[in-house]
Structure 1
Amino acid sequence: MIVAFTDLDDTLFQTLRKLPPDMKGLTPATLGRDGQPHSFCTPAQSALLAHFAASGITVIPVTGRDPAAMARVTLPFTSWRVLDHGLTVVRPDGQVDPEYRLQVLKQLGPLQDALKDSTTAIAELAQALGCRLSRHTAHDTHFMTVLKHPDANAASLERVQAALEDHLTMRGDADLHVIANANNVSVLPRAPGKAEAVRYLREQHFSDATLTLALGDSLSDLAFMNACDLAITPPGGQVLRTVMAAKLPQR
């Protein structure tokens, strides 16, 4: 058995804004809240998914999307799913896995004060910079605060990111971390997360897999990618941009 654990946004599909304007052969992959196509697979991404299907490879999404956002993904995933940045594991029958849920709630409880403190600390600056602040929950428990700028203003998002990182450093809080991309900045637990969910599935339900593949584009995907046998990352993604920019000695 071969299992592919894969991030979704910017790995298997992306919005038109991130694609060349003249690209042909796009396949709708998600719907927006208005019910219209929102993200698309390129021919290469569609070919990869078709290859997985033809080869009998089990494909498991590992995504930051919550259940509502996952419901707008139109690709035919039929196995397990990892949602909420790794806080929720969904069984093939669509039900939340209860054992993993209990593990997550046990770990989230002690982090509530730190999450609340970080959210309060950044709220005034976020408002001044025009960023929208939202608290995300999993299993009715706060696990992440997201700050998003309506115009994706890089300078504003960088200031918010720096302020959050400074706050965590000042607190000496190693249990939370900050992740960022072109659209938003988030503060959330280091664990549990995507890596813990992937390890849980590997140990509890896919221990007989002869090969596990990991697909992701962001630095926040690296932990779960490192929990698999081989990793695949798209060109132009955050992972490869960071590697290409690194000034490391050649050995």
Structure 2
Amino acid sequence: MIVAFTDLDDTLFQTLRKLPPGMEGLTPATLGRDGQPHSFCTPAQSALLAHFVDSGVTVIPVTGRDPAAMARVTLPFTSWQVLDHGLTILRPDGQVDAEWRGRVLEALSPLQEALEDCTVSISELAEALGCRLTRHTAHDTHFMTVFKHPDANAASLGRVQNALEDRLKSREHADLHVIANANNVSVLPRHLGKAEAVRYLRGQHFPHATLTLALGDSLSDLAFMNACDLAITPPGGQLLRTVSAAKLPQR
């Protein structure tokens, strides 16, 4: 058995804004809240998914999307699903995996005070910089705070990121960490996420898989990609941009 654990946004599909103008052969992959197509697969991405299906590869999405956002994905995923940055696992029948839910709630309980401290302490700065603050929950429990700038202003997001990282260090919130991309900055649990969910599924439900593949585009995907046998990343993503910019000695 081969299992592919894959990030979704900017890995298997993306919005038109992130595609070359006039690209042909696009396949709708998600719907917006208005019910209209919002993200699209390129011909290459569609070919990869078709190859997985034709080859009998089990494809498991590993995404930051919550259940409501995942419901707007129109691609035919039929196996397990990892949502909420790893804090929710859906079984193939669509039900929440109860064992994983119990582990998550046990781990989240001692983090609530630190999460709230970071959220409140940065909220005034974030508002002054034009960022919108959103508390995200899984299983009715706060697990992540996201600061998003409507214009993806890099300077504003950078200041929020620095302030969050300083807060974590000064308060010794070692069990939280900060992740960032072009649109937002988030604070969430360090040792509870996509990687732990993938390891759980590998150990509990796919212990005899002969090959596990990981697909992801961002630095926050690295941990779960390292939990698999081989990794695949798209060109132009945060991962390859970071590696390309690194001045590493050739040995």
TM-score by length of 2: 0.99
Find the counterpart in structure 2 of residue 31 from structure 1. Answer: 31
Instruction: Give 1:173 deviation, angstroms.
Output: 1.8
Find the counterpart in structure 1 of residue 74 from structure 2. Answer: 74
Instruction: Give 1:172 deviation, angstroms.
Output: 2.0
User: Which sections of structure 1, spanning at least 5 residues, go unmatched?
Assistant: none
Find the counterpart in structure 2 of residue 54 from structure 1. Answer: 54
Find the counterpart in structure 2 of residue 156 from structure 1. Answer: 156
Residues 138-164 of structure 1: CA deviation (Å, up to 9, x unaligned): 000000000111111111111111111
Find the counterpart in structure 1 of residue 202 from structure 2. Answer: 202
Aligned length: 251
Find the counterpart in structure 2 of residue 230 from structure 1. Answer: 230
CA distance in 2 between counterparts of 1:113 and 1:247 reads 39
Question: SS of the residue aligned with 1:39?
Answer: strand
Give the letter aligned to residue 119 of structure 1.
T
Find the counterpart in structure 2 of residue 112 from structure 1. Answer: 112
Give the letter aligned to residue 248 of structure 1.
L
CA distance in 1 between counterparts of 2:22 and 2:28 reads 16
CA distance in 1 between counterparts of 2:127 and 2:167 reads 17
Find the counterpart in structure 1 of residue 20 from structure 2. Answer: 20
Find the counterpart in structure 2 of residue 243 from structure 1. Answer: 243
1:81-230 superposed matches below 5 A: 81-230=81-230
Instruction: Give 1:229 deviation, angstroms.
Output: 0.3
Instruction: Give 1:250 deviation, angstroms.
Output: 1.4
Q: Which runs of 4+ in 1 moved over 3 A?
A: none
Give the letter aligned to residue 92 of structure 1.
P
CA distance in 1 between counterparts of 2:39 and 2:141 reads 29
Residues 98-140 of structure 1: CA deviation (Å, up to 9, x unaligned): 0000000110001001000000111000110111101000000
Instruction: Give 1:248 deviation, angstroms.
Output: 1.5
Residues 215-241 of structure 1: CA deviation (Å, up to 9, x unaligned): 000000000000000000000101111
Question: SS of the residue aligned with 1:59?
Answer: strand
CA distance in 1 between counterparts of 2:2 and 2:9 reads 22
Give the letter aligned to residue 39 of structure 1.
S
Give the letter aligned to residue 226 of structure 2.
N
Give the letter aligned to residue 241 of structure 1.
R
Instruction: Give 1:50 deviation, angstroms.
Output: 0.3
CA distance in 2 between counterparts of 1:202 and 1:124 reads 42
Question: SS of the residue aligned with 1:244?
Answer: helix
CA distance in 2 between counterparts of 1:114 and 1:189 reads 10
CA distance in 1 between counterparts of 2:53 and 2:218 reads 24
TM-score by length of 1: 0.99
Question: SS of the residue aligned with 1:156?
Answer: helix
CA distance in 1 between counterparts of 2:102 and 2:56 reads 32
Residue 4 in 1 paired to residue 9 in 2? no
Find the counterpart in structure 1 of residue 41 from structure 2. Answer: 41
CA distance in 1 between counterparts of 2:54 and 2:25 reads 20
Root-mean-square deviation (Å): 0.6
